[in-house]
Structure 1
Amino acid sequence: MNVSPDPITNREIAAQEREKLLDFFARGLCCTTASAFGTGHGEPSAEALTKARTVADDYLAAYEEWLVKLAADNAAPGLQ
């Protein structure tokens, strides 16, 4: 399957997409944790999602920093 998302053209869309990613990552972290502890895969509690969003936000922020650095390195003149 090949997915071609619509391009992000402004900060509002970027912020919405970031929130969707945080929710997706947070739910994934909750499911992974529940699976590891054998507690089932029901709907995560609001508290669990809040904690998982904090972790997801840290990972996403680090990824964004890496992307900015990569873009800057690629835009620099000279050998890559």
Structure 2
Amino acid sequence: MNVVPDPITTQEQASKERENLLDFFARGLICTTARAVGADHGEPSEEALTKARAVADDYLAAYEEWLVKLTADNAAPGPQ
């Protein structure tokens, strides 16, 4: 099945999508960490989500920088 999301065309949509990604990544980090140490976990606390969101934000920022660099490299004239 192919899923094609609606394109993001405004800064507001991009900001909302980034916040959704941060929440998704943060929850994934918490679940993965809990499973790795053998802990039983339910809904993460606000404190845990805040800490995990900071880590997720760092990863997402690095990914965004990589995408910008990749776009610039691909736009540069000459052999790739």
TM-score by length of 1: 0.96
Secondary structure of 2:79 counterpart: coil
CA–CA distance in structure 2, aligned partners of residues 79 and 64 of structure 1: 24
CA positional deviation for 1:41 = 2.9
TM-score by length of 2: 0.96
Q: Does 1:46 align with 2:40?
A: no
Task: List runs of 5+ in structure 2 lacking aligned partners.
Answer: none
2:21 alignment partner in structure 1: 21
Root-mean-square deviation (Å): 0.7
- The alignment-based identity, stated in percent, is 80
- Output one character per residue of 1:25-77: Cα deviation in whole Å (capped at 9) or x when no partner: 00000000111122213001111000000000000000000000000001111
Aligned positions, number: 80
1:6 alignment partner in structure 2: 6
Which stretch shifts more, 29-38 or 56-65? 29-38
1:75 alignment partner in structure 2: 75
